[in-house]
Structure 1
Amino acid sequence: MADTKREIERKYESDDSGLPDLTGVAGVAAVLDQGVAELDATYYDTVDERLAAASITLRRRTGGSDAGWHLKLPVTTGVRDEIHAPLSDHVPSTLGALVRSRVRDDELAPVVRLRSTRDVRHLMDADGQLLAEVSLDAVRAERLTGGGGKAEWTEIEVELADDGDPAFLDKVEKRLRKAGIHPSESPSKLARALAETGGKGRPRKEDRAEPVTAGDHVLAYVRAQRDVVVELDPAVRRDVEDSVHRMRVATRRMRSTFKSYRKVLDRAVTDPIGAELKWLAGELGAGRDQEVLAERITGVIEELPHDLVAGPVRNRLRAWSKARGGDSRRQIIDVLNGQRYLALLTSLDALLADPPLRAAAAGKPSKVLTKAVNKACDTLAGLVDQALDTSAGHDRDVALHEARKKAKRARYAAEVAAPAFGKPASKLVSSLKDLQSLLGEHQDSVMSRTALKDLAEQAHAAGENSFTYGLLHAREEQRAAEVEEELPGVWKGMRGTFGL
C-alpha cells in the first residue's frame, strides 16, 4: 500500500560551518534540535537512466522516520509528489506501475547508493506548529554501475511543513543567503551523485533544436503530445483531477495532426498509429464523458428550487455516476497495464526517432503549414454552413457534432503552425477554440438529454417520481435551442477570420 504527500523543498550548498542560526527568520519562535539520523538509500533506474533524465527518483531507504520505498515525481521546480510504500526487498508493484510508461518492459536495477548523516532542526511558530524542517546532510555517494565512482558533499535541505505557505521558504532563504549560503546547482541528491561519480554522468534530456522546416514543426508538436501522454501516465493511475481528460486530448492532438499533415508524414506509417490513438482515446473517454455529464446535471439540479426536486434525484445521480465511473476507472488502469498501450508508446518513439517524412516536410512552413491549416478551416466552414441549413432536430444535432470535431482538427492544425506564425496563428487558435466551446455546449446538451432519459426510466422502474428528470430534459432542450439561435451570428463574425 502506498501513500502520497506533496513535497516542497529547497537545497543549498554547504561547507563545514554547519547550520546557521535560524532563530532570526521571520515567524520562527523556536528552533528545535531533532537529533542526528543515519540514512542509507539505494536508487533504482533503467540501464540508460531514464527516470533520472525525467527528474524522477525511486529509492529504497532505511534509517530515519520514513524508512521504506519512495517515488518522487516532479510537479514544478522545487515541488514533487512523494509516494511512499513499505520496506521490502523488491520494487513494490504500486510504484513500478507509476513509472511503467518510461521503464516499459525493461528492468529496474540499483544505480546509486547514498549514505547520509542528517542533522535535523524543526522551525516552529509561536503556536508550536511546525513551519519547516531544516537538515544538514553529509552525503557519501557511490555509483553502483559504470565504474563505481564515489563522491562526498554537504548540503542543507529546507522542506516546508505539510500545508505550509511556500512564501515561508523565501524567508528562510533570505537568512541563509545572509549567512553566505547559496542554492544548490543540482535539483536533487541523485542528480548530483550521477554528475559527480563518473560513469555516464547525469543523463541529459533529448536535445531539441528550434524547428526550421515544415516537418520540424509537425514533429515538434507530435513529440510534445507524446511527452504529455508519458508524463500524465502516473497521474492517471493515481486518479489526479483532470489527468484523464488531458491525456485524452493529447492522443487526439496527435491523431488529428497525422490527418491534417499527411503531406508531411507518410500515412502508411501514421494511419496504424492513429488507429491505436483512437482506441486509447476511446478507452479514456468513457470515464471522462461520464464525469462531464454528472457534473453538468448536478450543477443544473443545484440551481432548481427545492420544491422542483422530486424524489431521491441526487442519490440516484450519484449512484449512476459512481457505478459507471468505477467501471471506467478499472478499465483505464487495465488499459495502462496492457501490452497494447506500451506498444503504442513504443511506436510513437520509433516514429519520432526515424520520422516517415514526405517531400513536403522539407518545405517552408509559410507554404506547407498554411495550406494544411486553410484546408482544415475550409472543411470546417462547409460543415457549419451545412448544419445551419439543416432543420432543427436529430440531423442538425449530428451535423453540429461533426462540425465540432472538425473545429478541433482545425484548431490543432493551427497549434502546429503557431510557433512559425506567431500572433496570427494564435488568434486563429483562439477563434477556433471559442467555436469549439460553443458547439461543445450544444453536444453536451444532446448527451445530457440522453442521460436524463436513462435516469428517468430507472427512476420510473423503481417507483420514484420522474418529474425532475423531465424538467431537466426540457431545460437542456432550451439550452440547445439557445446555442442554435446564437450560432449564426457568432459564425458570421468568425468566418472571415479563419485561415492563415
Structure 2
Amino acid sequence: MGSSTSAEVAAEVERKYAVDAATVLPTLSGVDGVARMGQPREHHLDAVYYDTASLDLTRHHVTLRRRSGGPDAGWHLKLPPVADARTEVRLPLDAGSEGGHGDTDDGADAPPAELLDHVRAVVRDRPLVPVAVLRTRRREHDLLDASGTTVGHLCDDEVEAQSLVGAQEAQRWREWEVELDEGDQRVLESVEPHLIATGATPAAHASKLRRALGDSVSPPEPAPASQLSDRPTAIEVLGAYLVEHRAALHQHDAGVRQGDSEPVHRMRVAARRLRSALTTYRPLLGRQVADPLREELRWLGLALSDARDAHVLRRRLTAVIHAEPPELVVGPVVARLEKELGAVQQHGLGTAVAALESARYFRLLDALDDLVAALPELPQASAPASEVPALVRRDWKRLGREVAAAGRAADADSRDRALHEARKKAKRFRYAAESAIVLRPKQATRMAKAAEAVQEALGDHQDTVVARARLRSLAMTAHLSGENAFTFGRLHALEQWRADRAEADFDVAWRRLSRRRVRRWLTR
C-alpha cells in the first residue's frame, strides 16, 4: 500500500503552437516579462508512448511515455490538463521492470507500477503496449527576465511520429512550445501574440501523441452537465451525473492506493452517489440494467467503509478527549483509543486497497463504462426531462415514510435504527435533487441544501450511536485490564448529549425541508 518516494511530481504549464517548416522563430527579447532570450540548446528526444489496446489513457487525456535524450530522460506520466496546466509524474529510466505488469512483446521495459497506480482506475488490469514512437529534434531557448531568472522556455520542435495503431503512415510536423519555469501565466499571455504574428496558430491537439494517433482515438464520451443542451432528455440528465461521479471515482482511486484517509471518503461518496442515481432512475433503466451495478457499487462502498468509519471515530473521540480538563482524563485513554481504532483503520485501508486491486473492482468500472455508453440506446432514451421531478418525488416519499417510522419507534434502539434508515433516504433524496440542478438550478439547489441539512443532522446522530457503542467496548476492555474506566463513561454521557442535540437539529431541518415551497417544483 502506497508508492515509493522516488517519483518526482512537477506542475507543467505550457502552450503549443502549430507552425510550418519555413517559419522563422522570432526573438522574444523585450517582450513584456522577457528581457532576454538565451541561445539555443539542441536535444534529440526519442519517446515510446504506452497505452492499452483500446487507447484508454489517451481517451482520458493521459499520456505515458519512456523518453531518452534531453535533460529530463525517464518515464513520464502526464495527468489530464486543467487549462494550460497539468501534473507530470516522473521516474528514472531504470524504474521500468522486465516482466512486470504491462510487459511488452518487443522486450522493452514495462511501465513502472508506481506510475500506473496513478491511473489504475483507467488502465485496470489491461496490458499496456507501445502505441506510438516519436523522435523530436528540439531547439530550446531559455526566456529570462531582467534579473536573469528563467521565467520559461521556448522550444522549436521538429517531430517525426509513427503510430503503432492501425496502418497509419509516419507523420512529420513542426511545432513551438512555450513552457513556464519561474514565470507565471502573464509570460504565456505576453508571448503568444508575438508567436501568432509570426505565423503560428494554437495547436489543434493537446499533445504530440494525440496528433500522432489521429482518428484511432474514439469519439468523446457523453457531455458533462455543464454542456447539456437546453432540452435534454431524462437519460441525458442521468448520463451527465454518472459521468461526473465516475470521474470522481477515478480521481480518488490513486489516493486510496497510497493509504490516504480523505480519498477513501471521497471515493466512497462517489460510489454512493452513483448507486443512488441508479436507484432514483431505475424506472427508466429497468431493474435488469440497474440492480447488478447497484450491488457492485454497494460492495465497493462497504470495502471502503471500515477505514473511513474508524478514521472519523478516531478523530472525533480524540478531539473530545483533548477538550476535556486534564483531571477528567483518567488512565491511558488516548493510548487505548489510538491502539484500537488505529489498528481498525489500518486494517480497513488494507481491505480498501485489496478491493481496488481485485478483478471484481475492475469489472465494476467496466460495467459502469458500458452503461454510460449504452444509455442512448436504451428503450427509455427519449423520455423527456419532465419525468425527472416524478423520479425525485419518489425519493421524497420514501424519506417521509422512514421519518414517520422513526416517530412510531417503540424504544430508543428502534428509534436509532429508524433514524439511520431515514438518514440514508435523506441522502438519496439530496443526491436525486442534485442530479436535477441542470434542469431547475435555483429550485433543485434549494431543495438539495435543505435535504443536506436533514442528512447532516441524522449523520451526527448516527455518529453518536457508533461512538457510544465503541466507548462501551473500550470501557469494558479498560476495566478488565485493571484500568479506571471513568473517562470512557464520561465520554459516553457527552455522546448521549450530542445525540439529543442532533435530534433537535433534525426536527428543525425536517420542518424546513417539509415546507411546500421548498418542493413546489416537484409537483408541477
TM-score range, shorter chain: 0.7 to 0.9
Q: Provide the residue aligned with 1:177 in structure 2.
A: 192
Q: Provide the residue aligned with 1:10 in structure 2.
A: 14
Indicate the RMSD between aligned Cα atoms, in angstroms. 3.3
- Displacement of 1:407: 0.4
Structure 2 contact 457–503 (Cα < 8 Å) conserved: no
Q: Is 1:70–2:70 an aligned residue pair?
A: no
Q: Is 1:81–2:87 an aligned residue pair?
A: yes
Which region of structure 1 is more displaced relative to structure 2, 209-218 or 147-156? 209-218
Q: Provide the residue aligned with 1:155 in structure 2.
A: 176
Cα 1:57–1:36 change in 2 (3 A) is: same
Which region of structure 1 is more displaced relative to structure 2, 459-468 or 138-147? 459-468
Deviation digits for residues 433-474 of structure 1, max 9, x if unmatched? 111111111111222222333444454455555443333322
State how 1:251-270 maps to structure 2 within 5 Å. 251-270=271-290
What's the secondary structure of 1:327's corresponding residue? helix
Percent identical across equivalent pairs? 36
Cα 1:276–1:365 change in 2 (3 A) is: same
Q: Provide the residue aligned with 2:254 in structure 1.
A: 234
Structure 2 contact 447–513 (Cα < 8 Å) conserved: no
TM score, norm. by length of structure 2: 0.81
Amino acid at match of 1:39: L
Q: 1:336 aligns with which of 356, 368, 379?
A: 356
Q: 1:413 aligns with which of 432, 448, 467?
A: 432
Q: Provide the residue aligned with 2:112 in structure 1.
A: 92
Q: Is 1:398–2:417 an aligned residue pair?
A: yes
Structure 1 contact 264–357 (Cα < 8 Å) conserved: no
- Displacement of 1:323: 2.1
Cα 1:380–1:110 change in 2 (3 A) is: same
What's the secondary structure of 1:59's corresponding residue? strand
Deviation digits for residues 367-410 of structure 1, max 9, x if unmatched? x3222222211221232233245467322211111110000111
Amino acid at match of 1:150: Q
Q: Provide the residue aligned with 1:55 in structure 2.
A: 61
- Displacement of 1:424: 1.9
Amino acid at match of 1:206: E
Q: Provide the residue aligned with 1:205 in structure 2.
A: 220
Report the Cα distance in structure 1 between the residues aligned to 2:427 and 2:150, rounded to whole angstroms.
Answer: 47
Q: Provide the residue aligned with 1:114 in structure 2.
A: 134
Report the Cα distance in structure 2 between the residues aligned to 1:330 and 1:435, rounded to whole angstroms.
Answer: 33
Amino acid at match of 1:255: R
- Displacement of 1:25: 5.6
Q: Is 1:142–2:141 an aligned residue pair?
A: no
Cα 1:38–1:453 change in 2 (3 A) is: farther
Cα 1:23–1:359 change in 2 (3 A) is: closer
Report the Cα distance in structure 2 between the residues aligned to 1:38 and 1:457, rounded to whole angstroms.
Answer: 70
Q: 1:274 aligns with which of 294, 303, 328?
A: 294
- Displacement of 1:478: 1.1
Cα 1:244–1:252 change in 2 (3 A) is: same
Which region of structure 1 is more displaced relative to structure 2, 374-383 or 404-413? 374-383
Equivalent residue pairs, number: 487
Structure 2 contact 12–88 (Cα < 8 Å) conserved: no
Cα 1:14–1:342 change in 2 (3 A) is: closer
Q: Provide the residue aligned with 1:165 in structure 2.
A: none
TM score, norm. by length of structure 1: 0.85
Cα 1:305–1:384 change in 2 (3 A) is: same
Structure 2 contact 163–212 (Cα < 8 Å) conserved: no
Report the Cα distance in structure 2 between the residues aligned to 1:440 and 1:106, rounded to whole angstroms.
Answer: 39
Cα 1:222–1:117 change in 2 (3 A) is: same
User: Which residues of structure 1 form unaligned runs of 5+?
Assistant: 162-167
Structure 1 contact 263–361 (Cα < 8 Å) conserved: no
Report the Cα distance in structure 2 between the residues aligned to 1:468 and 1:342, rounded to whole angstroms.
Answer: 46
Cα 1:148–1:100 change in 2 (3 A) is: farther
Report the Cα distance in structure 1 between the residues aligned to 2:26 and 2:340, rounded to whole angstroms.
Answer: 57
- Displacement of 1:135: 4.3
- Displacement of 1:35: 4.4
Q: 1:482 aligns with which of 489, 501, 510?
A: 501
Deviation digits for residues 263-301 of structure 1, max 9, x if unmatched? 211102322221111111100122111222222223323
Report the Cα distance in structure 1 between the residues aligned to 2:489 and 2:473, rounded to whole angstroms.
Answer: 11
- Displacement of 1:57: 0.5
State how 1:208-223 maps to structure 2 within 5 Å. 208=223, 210=229, 212-223=232-243
- Displacement of 1:201: 5.5
Report the Cα distance in structure 2 between the residues aligned to 1:121 and 1:325, rounded to whole angstroms.
Answer: 51
Q: 1:349 aligns with which of 353, 369, 386?
A: 369
Q: Provide the residue aligned with 2:321 in structure 1.
A: 301
Amino acid at match of 2:85: V
Structure 1 contact 52–203 (Cα < 8 Å) conserved: no
Amino acid at match of 2:175: T
Q: Is 1:41–2:47 an aligned residue pair?
A: yes
Q: Provide the residue aligned with 1:324 in structure 2.
A: 344
Deviation digits for residues 148-178 of structure 1, max 9, x if unmatched? 32122132232345xxxxxx42231243136
Amino acid at match of 1:480: A
Structure 1 contact 4–83 (Cα < 8 Å) conserved: yes
Amino acid at match of 2:298: K
